[in-house]
A and B are shown apart, each in its own frame.
Chain A
Amino acid sequence: MELPPYATLGQKIWHYAFYVICGLIFLFLITPILIIAPLSFNAEPYFSFTEGMLGFDKEAYSTRWYQDIFTNGMANPDQPTSWALFREWLWMALSPMHTAPDSFYTDTWENAQWVRAMKNSFFIGFFATLIATALGTLAAVGLSRSEMPYRGAIMSLLISPLIVPLVITAAGMFYFYSQVGLSQTYTGVILAHAALGTPFVIITVTATLVGFDKSLVRAGASMGAGPARTFWKIQMPLILPGVVSGALFAFITSFDEVVAVLFLAGPEHRTIPRQMYSGIREQISPTILAVATILVIISILLLVTMELLRRRGERLRGIRN
């Protein structure tokens, strides 16, 4: 990308113009994601910058929308709050008797819409990821064996949840699951999300298995280890980065999925994206921006985790840049 010293004026102009164009595209990619953070601290119930915000007036900024995340939907939001009360509540809630006192925090935990949505998201995401990762890893190990019959056809079938339009998937599941009594249940949503997450697990785990040295397994077997033992002791540690990143993908898929939830979930199974969806459609309040900001921070953390995993995986398999 360096400009040679003999470059003509035209080449120089093109060279810098190219940088400017790329800069603008990066701006297009990143601005919308970064802009929501300052907007979420708006003191007014608007989606846009107010005069005060642009003038860096302290009064124009507030954390009220972040508080709203925890209070919206509460039965009695006027109960006293303090750090000591919170500690007491947490202590009691975590105690084996689960005898949390009837306080502000119990109310938040039980009734606040976003908190309930968060609990649902994590609950559904956890089980969907568990199913997708367990089944997907097993299948990827099988698929990457050269003796696997009908490999191509089965692979395309197992990847297809990624390709088939979500509306068709969700409509089909809605129709079928309601006939077998799974619609409007956690199980239905979990099964749907697990099916949508498996392709990611297969792709990432197969990718780590590409560089896998089979003689390691044979070496283990020659020393008397059974198939289960060679899998857990030799293969698993080596493909673990792929498994973990596949699991992360599966989790984020479930955590971000809204079409299947729209079709399959009842009002008490609302997840965060579902809550955002109705928030955008019904009343646009900056609470959505506050939630969005938190989600962006979570995705930054996930991104860093993935990058670290990738590096670790490449180091373990002896691939160097």
Chain B
Amino acid sequence: MTEASYQATSFPASPTDAQGALLAADGTPLKLKLRQSMRASRMRAFGLVLPLLIFVLASFVIPILVLLWQGVYNGTYENDMPRSAPIMRAWDGASPPSEAMAEAMVLDMVDARKAKTIGKVATRVNRELSGTRSLFTKSARRAAKMEAPYLAALEKADKDWADLETWRAIKIAATSLTPAFYAAAVDAKYTADGAFEMQSEERRIHVNLFIKTMLVSGAVMLACLLLGYPVAYLLAHLPMKTSNLLMILVLLPFWTSLLVRTTAWIAMLQSQGVLNDIFVWIGITSDDSRFSLIYNMTGTLIAMTHILLPFMILPIYSVMRAIPPSHVRAAKSLGATNWTAFWRVYFPATIPGIGAGGLLVFILSIGYYITPALVGGQDGQLISNFIAYHMQRSLNWSLAAALGGILLVIVLILYWLYDRIVGIDNMKLG
């Protein structure tokens, strides 16, 4: 059979268009058709993810964004003192307060008192200058009876109205979109002239708290590494059967409720607890000088290390399992001592596991809330506890949002690092 006859009996030549591009059966260019079908399958894959994406956006991402917005936007004053706010914003912050400012203030105070929002406004201004809360509530009570000239009337009601600082604080509060809360979150003060100055030494609590939280997370990470590495090594080098059995001892704490473990540590560490009883029994300490191991930083560190240890062991273990034993044998056959073989050959190979476990432990411990709240006592409180405090007790949501925003940025940077180094796909559970 010649070449030509073969062609004649085989399939008809593929249809092509004027430019010679291949066409599909229905006449559209094959390239286009392929793109369409790729597009359709991409859309199908995306369609599967879409419900969850919408759900996570609506129930998780948007609430957090809305909260974070509170960190830079607080409309309390603007909403409840509508006349005064624009005038206060326009004021330069240096010239003596004008009659127009005072008039708007008095009229707004009367309305705010009627609407029962004056307390909120007073609290808002009080955050900028402490002591102004009572000034506001007191003046608002008298505002209804005040007459022009209002400035003099205000000053008669309370001499603090003559103080320029009061008006400056109001000017800051009147600006809804403000960096004041982020400034407060890093212990700075945002002034009416738009400058930042550091708080006085004894009032700088937040930066120290962030540093303390980082140090605690670092310490917990280090403790987890020191305790987790030998265990992971043992598990990885025992026969599968034995190591699976011992693995239960690691996984059981992992699966046990956080509160159960915290309760258990209270039973272990309190002054009448198991550990102190043992110390007294052995004779390390006497009955009346028992160690205070809980409701302080020690308690937080011990309980957090215990709770996060499995998160360190599991990644290191899975990396160690994958290291061929021949590497260490090869090093030894070339004359390395046990230590050199471990330190120069084995240990570097386990660094990915250490990175994964360490980052995970650090990320989790930096946002820890429950354990410090329950066993931390006074000095064991971390940044999360402060956020919760401002959210639930002091009701300074904007400051909570600003502190949360900073914490979130730190965590997201670590998360990005984790993704770069480990890859989220490689996150394993159990």
Task: List A residues at the B interface (Cβ < 8 Å).
Answer: 1, 11, 18-19, 21-22, 25-26, 28-33, 35-36, 39, 46-49, 131, 135-136, 138-139, 141-143, 145, 147-149, 152, 154-161, 163-169, 171-177, 179, 191-192, 194-195, 198, 200, 202-204, 206-207, 227, 245, 249, 252, 255-256, 258-259, 262-263, 273, 276-277, 280-281, 284, 288-289, 292, 295-296, 299-300, 302-303, 306, 310, 321
- Inter-subunit contact B367/A166 (CB<8 Å): yes
- Inter-subunit contact B49/A142 (CB<8 Å): yes
A contact residues around B23 at 8 Å (CB) = none
- Inter-subunit contact B268/A175 (CB<8 Å): no
Interface majority SS (helix, strand, loop, mixed), chain B:
helix
- Inter-subunit contact B306/A155 (CB<8 Å): no
Chain A nearest Cβ from B91, distance in angstroms: 31
Taken together as a complex, chains A and B put the C-alpha atoms of A259 and B41 apart, in Å, by 40
Interface centre among B246, B267, B367 (most CB of A within 10 A): B267
A-B contact pairs, 7 of them (CB 8 A): A1-B238, A48-B277, A154-B49, A163-B363, A163-B411, A165-B366, A175-B70
B contact residues around A296 at 8 Å (CB) = 252, 256, 260
Interface centre among B51, B59, B234, B248 (most CB of A within 10 A): B59
Chain B interface residue count, CB cutoff 8 Å, equals 91
- Inter-subunit contact A295/B260 (CB<8 Å): yes
CB-based closest 4 A-B pairs: A165-B367, A142-B48, A176-B63, A32-B264
B contact residues around A156 at 8 Å (CB) = 415, 419, 424
- Inter-subunit contact B255/A175 (CB<8 Å): no
- Inter-subunit contact A160/B249 (CB<8 Å): no
Chain A nearest Cβ from B247, distance in angstroms: 9
Chain A nearest Cβ from B198, distance in angstroms: 26
A contact residues around B251 at 8 Å (CB) = 303
Residue in A closest to B271 when the chains form the complex, CB atoms? A48
Taken together as a complex, chains A and B put the C-alpha atoms of A256 and B263 apart, in Å, by 13
Which of B126-134, B168-176, B200-208, B383-391 lies at the interface with chain A? B383-391
Q: A292-B263, A300-B255 are in contact. List 7 more A-B contacts (CB 8 A).
A: A141-B48, A165-B404, A174-B391, A276-B260, A289-B267, A299-B255, A299-B256
- Inter-subunit contact A22/B230 (CB<8 Å): yes
Chain A nearest Cβ from B254, distance in angstroms: 8
Residue in B closest to A155 when the chains form the complex, CB atoms? B424
Taken together as a complex, chains A and B put the C-alpha atoms of A170 and B270 apart, in Å, by 30
Taken together as a complex, chains A and B put the C-alpha atoms of A226 and B259 apart, in Å, by 47
- Inter-subunit contact B367/A195 (CB<8 Å): no
B contact residues around A310 at 8 Å (CB) = 430
13-71 of chain B: CB within 8 A of chain A: 38, 41-42, 44-49, 51-53, 55-56, 59-68, 70
- Inter-subunit contact A256/B306 (CB<8 Å): no
Taken together as a complex, chains A and B put the C-alpha atoms of A138 and B419 apart, in Å, by 23
B contact residues around A321 at 8 Å (CB) = 240
- Inter-subunit contact A142/B262 (CB<8 Å): no
220-279 of chain B: CB within 8 A of chain A: 227, 230-231, 234, 237-238, 240, 246, 248-253, 255-268, 270, 272-274, 277
